[in-house]
Structure 1
Amino acid sequence: MLGELIHSVLVFLEGLVYWGIMLGLMLEVIPSEIVLSYAGYLVSTGSITFWGAVAFGTIGGVIAQLFIYWIGRYGGRPVLERYGKYI
């Protein structure tokens, strides 16, 4: 069941190509190692370019970390106390 979910997410990301790599890294629905491995596979088959994968992967990773930083910076302890059990 989990394998089917991961497969369906990866097929969806393949349709989005570069934007899918960025979204996959931003949302952390599945581990980033799987998204990056799949991006490497797409590069090896010639579906996408190496530098495009690097650029969109970097942008997605940075945006994900900025989001977490902003939560800590502007929400602080009240957000952690209120929603910490979900993290």
Structure 2
Amino acid sequence: MLLEKLIGLLAVWIMSVISTMGYGGIVLLMAIESACIPLPSEIIMPFAGYLVFKGEMVLWIVALMGALGCVLGSIPAYYVGKTGGRQLAEKYGRFVLISKKDLKMADDWFKNYGEIIIFLGRLLPAVRTFIALPAGIARMNMTKFIIYTFVGSFIWCWALAYTGMVFGEHWDSLKVYFHEFHYVIAGGAIIFIIWYIRRHFQNN
């Protein structure tokens, strides 16, 4: 399918960015993911973890750079919510595959659980991508927002990178089934993004 090929190219591009830019590539990609653009951290961080296994990166630095990227990407999203409010997010959210149902879910989580949801939301797939918007709409204290975002993102990034590192440790048993590790990552990207796009159109 054409869509699968395009998504496969996206996965290869993600790996290329990290391979070329190193830690800076992790910051860049995670900033994009946290700016309400569905670039899957579930692909970015495990590949970085694989590079940890290869000895090209250090696990705690990988997690730190991922969390830093999340903070940098979340700040613009926060201010979009703060200055434009929900109306702006609803009007333009569809251009980055954020549905009204996604926004309502984030709003409900924020109202039900309070500011701590910024921390918890960073540990949840999909929610983490756009949780900054309701924080901005609610005019959450910026210092708290940054702290919660950083701590939650660090845990998330560390866990995903560690998973990638573990897969690397078992590479000898996996290579019977896969010619290259990037095929595993590309397959994951295809599944995740197809699900996300389908979910977006179903919820609009």
Q: TM > 0.5 between the two?
A: yes
- The one-letter amino acid paired with 2:75 is L
Query: Bigger shift: 16-25 or 26-35?
Result: 26-35
Match of 2:27 in 1: 22
Measure the CA separation in 1 of the matches of 2:10 and 2:49. 20
- 1:5-84 maps to which residues of 2 (within 5 A)? 5-28=10-33, 30-84=39-93
Measure the CA separation in 1 of the matches of 2:77 and 2:39. 17
Is contact 2:23-2:65 (8 Å) kept?
yes
CA displacement 1:23-77 (0-9 Å, x = unmatched): 1111126301110101111111110112221211110112222221111012214
Q: For structure 1, which runs of at least 5 residues remain unmatched after alignment?
A: none
Is contact 1:6-1:30 (8 Å) kept?
no
Cα root mean square deviation, aligned: 1.8
Is contact 2:11-2:43 (8 Å) kept?
no
Which is helix-richer, 1 or 2?
1
The alignment of Structure 1 onto Structure 2 pairs a total of residues equal to 87
Q: SS state of the match for residue 65, structure 1?
A: helix
Q: For structure 2, which runs of at least 5 residues remain unmatched after alignment?
A: 99-204
Structure with bigger RCO (C-alpha 8 Å, 6+ apart): 2
Query: Bigger shift: 17-26 or 60-69?
Result: 60-69
Query: Bigger shift: 45-54 or 16-25?
Result: 45-54
- The one-letter amino acid paired with 1:61 is C
TM-score under structure 1 length normalisation: 0.83
* Structure 1 runs, 4 residues or longer, greater than 4 Å off: none
Measure the CA separation in 1 of the matches of 2:78 and 2:50. 31
Greater Rg over alpha carbons, structure:
2
